[in-house]
Amino acid sequence: MRLWKVLVGVCVLIGFADSFVLAYTEIPVEQGGTIRGKVTLTGETPRPMAFNLVTIPDAVYCGRISTGTGWRIVEDFLIAPDGALKDAVIMLKGIQKGKPFKTEKVRVEAIDCDFLPFVNVMKKQDELTVVNMDPIEHDIQGYETARKRGARVLFNRPLPMNPFHKVLGMMNSHKHMAGKPMVENVHLRKGRNIFVMQCGFHPYMFSWGLIVENPYYAITPESGEFEISDVPPGDYTLTVWHAGMKKYLEKNISVKPHGAEVVNFEYQTVSGKRRSVHEMHDNPRFGLELLDEGEEIIPSLRLQIP
């Protein structure tokens, strides 16, 4: 019995020591280097996910952004003419000490039946705020993801609209008023660092989040370029993730004192394969004629091009 207690105590101490060693420590960074580069995608543009608005509530209002033929496209691949890829997240692995670890408070807005921003970065237990700016209701479903064990529900809560929205004539109005915010602390199980939000009423509404272990990360803008500064000299692994791709890309790098390392990443699309069961196709059972007489889905904000 005494031996068992000793073994348990040793295991606890080892576990505590491991967690202590792996914890990130803030220190003054001297002779820090910079990592910069670009994320691109080559090959055919991946097939977009598309949802038939006729089968989804608020078809006319949510059709403000649509193809105009009754489909709403999930724009998870925003690619510039030169192949630059937006919303890729670059993370540095293997770094335990460095500059202050602060993340911006994450606020996601549901606006014109879309979640913005599409990609966010957070620390463990960070607070997530979601606000409804639309004159219709949304339903927030949050999941942590994993390839082998599947998804786990983090939260599922209604997102009410502002009670002072004028519902009458709202389809022709473009006024956005913030409703009561939904606030959640995001805590993922050990070994998981990706979560996704989706609207239960409007399933084409997505917002992705990554949990990071240190402040050395970046999200690519439309140019696909990134820069990570004040990196202590050393050997690390640089990783890139994108919501539409099924794998991480990684490169080993060595940061020298006051050095400037250039690291580019290139994703390649796989042509000829379906990405999702939700792909645009003609379906006579769900045509525009199912909408109320006289109603049409005509984009008033932006026409999506598949």
- Quick one: 156 and 178 in the same domain? yes
CATH number at residue 88: 2.60.40.1120
Residue 271 above 50 pLDDT?
Answer: yes
**What proportion of the chain, given as a percentage, has pLDDT over 90?**
58
Concatenated DSSP letters of 9-72: HHHHHHHHHHHHHHS-EE----S-EEEEEEEEEESSPPPPEEEEGGGSSSHHHHTTEE-SSSEE
Q: Which helix (H) or strand (E) holds 261?
A: strand 260-262
Cβ neighbours for 252, distance < 8 A, ≥ 6 positions apart: 235, 236, 237, 238
Nearest Cα residue to 180 out of 197, 162, 165, 199? 162
CB-based burial, 208-232: b 16+ in 10 Å, e otherwise: bbbbbbbbbbbbbeeebebebeebb
pLDDT at 156: 92
- Show Cβ contacts of residue 253 under 8 Å, excluding neighbours closer than 6 positions: 35, 235, 236, 237, 238, 261, 263
What is the per-residue pLDDT for 280? Answer: 74
In this prediction, residue 33 carries a pLDDT of 96
C-alpha distances in Å from residue 80, one per residue of 41, 43, 83, 280: 9, 13, 5, 23
Domain annotation covers residue 9: no
The beta strands (E) that lie in 43-167 are given as 49-52, 65-66, 71-74, 89-93, 97-98, 106-110, 115-116, 119-122, 127-132, 138-144, 152-159
Q: Say which residue, 62 or 11, is predicted with more confidence.
A: 62
Is residue 26 included in any domain, yes or no? no
CA 62 → CA 41, 56, 172, 201, 203, distances in Å? 30, 9, 12, 11, 12
- Dihedral of the alpha carbons of 71, 72, 74, 78, in degrees to the nearest 10: 90
Do 154 and 192 lie in one domain? The reply is yes
> What's the whole-model pTM score?
0.85
Please check whether residues 142 and 191 belong to one and the same domain. Answer: yes
pLDDT in tens, 178-211: 999 999 888 888 778 899 999 999 999 999 999 9
Beta-strand pair 138-144/152-159: antiparallel
Given this model, what pLDDT does residue 55 score?
86
Backbone angles phi, psi at 305, to 5 degrees: -115, 115
Does 116 share its domain with 192? Answer: yes
In the block, residue with structure tokens 């540095």? 92
Report residue 170's pLDDT band, with 50, 70 and 90 as the boundaries.
low
Domain boundary among 213, 247, 273: 213
- Domains contained in the chain, number: 2
- What confidence score (pLDDT) does residue 278 get? 77
How open is the CA angle 156-206-272, to the nearest 5 degrees?
Answer: 130
Instruction: For residues 120 and 194, state if they share a domain.
Output: yes
Calculate the CA 241 to chain-centre distance: 10
Could you list the residue range(s) of the whole structural domain that residue 175 is in? 102-213
- Given 167, 191, 213, the domain boundary residue is 213
User: The domain that contains 194 carries what CATH number?
Assistant: 2.60.40.420
Let me know how long the chain is: 306
